[in-house]
């Protein structure tokens, strides 16, 4: 049952042949018809030397804006995380209250 099924020797392809006929005689059209000559390769352009000055300069105003932006970002992310935690806590508390109420309602007929 688990042995591979090998085709009989008369239908199996030989290693040198393929079941798919080769594609011969296909001619691809050129990509464009603008009749231009191919460009000659040129030497690569030199890389500009790195300057001695820093790429970014901070002024006192830009540092103040960056600090205010970072503070605002931290406050917004903190507010979102705290609100998600609060929503989870409120949901858990309401599910616990519902469980206690359902338990008392289901156990009440036994106490009478």
- pLDDT, tens digit, for every residue of 50-104? 666 657 777 889 889 999 999 999 999 999 999 999 999 999 999 999 999 999 8
Q: What are 33-64's pLDDT values in tens digits?
A: 777 666 666 666 666 666 666 577 778 898 89
Contact 28, 34 (CB under 8 A): no
- Residues 64, 68, 74: CA angle, nearest 5 degrees: 145
What pLDDT band is residue 31 in, cutting at 50, 70 and 90? confident
**What's the maximum distance between 2 C-alpha atoms anywhere in the chain?**
103
Q: What is the pTM of this model?
A: 0.41
């Amino acid at each position: 049952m688990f042995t591979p099924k090998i085709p009989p020797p008369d239908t199996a392809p030989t290693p040198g042949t393929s079941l798919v006929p080769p594609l011969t005689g296909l001619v691809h059209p050129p990509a464009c018809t603008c009749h231009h000559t191919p460009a000659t390769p040129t030497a690569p352009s030199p890389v500009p030397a790195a300057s001695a000055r820093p790429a970014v300069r901070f002024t006192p105003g830009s540092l103040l804006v960056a600090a205010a932006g970072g503070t605002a970002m931290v406050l917004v992310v903190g507010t979102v995380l705290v609100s998600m935690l609060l929503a989870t806590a409120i949901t858990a508390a309401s599910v616990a209250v519902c469980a206690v109420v359902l338990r008392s309602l289901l156990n009440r007929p036994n106490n009478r």
